[in-house]
Structure 1
Amino acid sequence: MKTVSAFFLSLLLASSVRANPPAGDVETAVRAADEAFWKTYNTCDLATTGDYFTADVEFYHDKGGLTKSRAALVESIRKNICGNPDQRVRREAVADSVKFYPMAGNRALLVGDHRFYVTEPGKPEYLTGQAKFDDLWEYVDGRWRMSRVFSYSHGGVAYVPPAAIELSAAALSRLAGRYTNRQGADFDVAVDGSHLKLTSDSFTLAIFALSPTQFFARERDLRFEFSAPKGGAVDRIFVRENGNMVDEVTRKPDALK
């Protein structure tokens, strides 16, 4: 009988301590822990990331399946999110989407939507996708930790064009001219009221200013960066779609005169 009692006592001592959290606003405490966790995620501070998971955490991903245990989950983040030194991933919660629900047994649930952004060398940060999340937080070993994590409904994000700025007619005229892309197709860039118009054969696209040299399309996530060497005449356009370089368009010599 003493042997059996000692056995169960050893199990209790080896398990996580689930004392009551300090008195106060549980929602504020859980949200603070959540914010601190995502800071470690966004900076790949893996030495700290694991502290926000219970030892027996289970992570359910609609594309990647189930990952069990703190060690396995941290290693997955190391390989997938933090494994490419030329790519930085940043997670951001969708504003006002995160909801808090208290649960019995010193637990709480955070649910909401989040988006993921990627930065690569020579490219501006771009949005790569969106998903929903359900995170079960538990007060374990003197702090709030996630024990069950669900990440699902991954997909693209509907394009919302940014707000345009107004440029003077002179600033727009500086960019006008005939350009040729890598495939040899010619493009005419002309001033059209308060914006520019790109025309090639039967193709026409209006583009609007984000800055004196950055333009965007309203139909889809296309960006046009007009480039001038050492402050001289504009000689090319870098074209990006969803943050990825898709074309480089060179201004024809006669258009530089």
Structure 2
Amino acid sequence: MKKLYLFALLLMPLVSQADVTDLQSKMMRLDTALFDSFNHCNNPVQLAKHASYFAEGVEFYHDNGGVTWDRNSMIANTKQYACGKYTRELVSGTFEVFTIKDFGVMTKGTHIFCQNGGNKCDGKADFVMLWHDLGDKLEITRVLSYGHRSNMDNK
């Protein structure tokens, strides 16, 4: 019995690592889809798709722009200040995923923003998103967008 227990303990990290890898892949797919809709949000269908990732009461904290307290305000700001003007690219190797017990998932990373119609990617920022697991889907309830700075690599 002790050997069986020890064997089970040795397998636990393998199972956990597989679960982490699956979650990492799932969240990367969601991040990609979220920002694909953002990058095309000058199309009303894509803007609606982008909005669908966020909870109605999402809180969006932006170090330069301040706070928005709901999805409608956040999407109005996105439409006014970003759609058709900028696209977002995730900085390779910066995306991290953490589970939050009895809630969902936290993602964080660094992204750059590129001006449409050119190859200039002037802005860089860090982000944290809290995704609430509703069983049939995940929705974003909190966003922190901070550390906005010049992108010295400029792409």
Q: What's the TM-score, normalizing by structure 2?
A: 0.77
- Residue number in structure 1 paired with 2:33: 36
Q: 1:106 Cα shift?
A: 3.5
1:118 aligns with 2:112: no
1:218-233 mapped onto 2 (5 Å cutoff): none
- Residue number in structure 1 paired with 2:142: 148
> In 2, Cα distance between the equivalents of 1:27 and 1:126?
29
1:127 alignment partner, SS class: coil
Q: 1:68 Cα shift?
A: 1.0
Q: 1:157 Cα shift?
A: 1.7
Cα RMSD of the aligned pairs, angstroms, is 1.8
> In 1, Cα distance between the equivalents of 2:119 and 2:27?
29
> In 1, Cα distance between the equivalents of 2:32 and 2:119?
21
Unaligned runs of 5+ in 2: 1-18
Unaligned runs of 5+ in 1: 1-23, 163-257
User: How many aligned residue pairs are there?
Assistant: 131
Do the aligned residues in 2 keep the contact of 1:54 with 1:140 (CA within 8 Å)?
Answer: no
- Residue number in structure 2 paired with 1:51: 52
- Residue number in structure 2 paired with 1:139: 133
- Residue number in structure 1 paired with 2:89: 92
Q: 1:103 Cα shift?
A: 0.9
Q: Structure 1's 126 and 144: CA in aligned 2 closer, same or farther, altered over 3 A?
A: same
2:92 alignment partner, SS class: coil
- Residue number in structure 1 paired with 2:10: none
Q: What's the TM-score, normalizing by structure 1?
A: 0.48
The answer to which structure, 1 or 2, has the higher relative contact order (CA under 8 A, 6+ apart) is 2
Do the aligned residues in 1 keep the contact of 2:24 with 2:96 (CA within 8 Å)?
Answer: no
1:104 aligns with 2:98: no
Report the structure, 1 or 2, having the larger strand content. Answer: 1
Q: 1:152 Cα shift?
A: 0.5
- Residue number in structure 1 paired with 2:8: none
Q: 1:94 Cα shift?
A: 0.5
> In 2, Cα distance between the equivalents of 1:27 and 1:127?
26
Do the aligned residues in 1 keep the contact of 2:37 with 2:49 (CA within 8 Å)?
Answer: yes
Do the aligned residues in 1 keep the contact of 2:38 with 2:47 (CA within 8 Å)?
Answer: yes
Stretches of 4+ moved more than 6 A in 1? none
1:72 alignment partner, SS class: helix
Do the aligned residues in 1 keep the contact of 2:122 with 2:152 (CA within 8 Å)?
Answer: no
1:60 aligns with 2:61: yes
Which protein has the larger Cα radius of gyration, Structure 1 or Structure 2? 1
Q: Structure 1's 141 and 49: CA in aligned 2 closer, same or farther, altered over 3 A?
A: farther
Q: 1:141 Cα shift?
A: 6.4
- Residue number in structure 2 paired with 1:239: none
Q: Structure 1's 28 and 159: CA in aligned 2 closer, same or farther, altered over 3 A?
A: closer
Report the structure, 1 or 2, having the larger helix content. Answer: 2
2:52 alignment partner, SS class: helix
Q: 1:112 Cα shift?
A: 0.9
Q: Which amino acid in the other structure matches residue 144 of structure 2?
A: F
Do the aligned residues in 1 keep the contact of 2:63 with 2:146 (CA within 8 Å)?
Answer: yes
The superposition leaves residues 84-140 of structure 1 with CA deviations (integer Å, 9 ceiling, x where unpaired) of xxx5311001100111111111311111110000023xxx32112100001111113
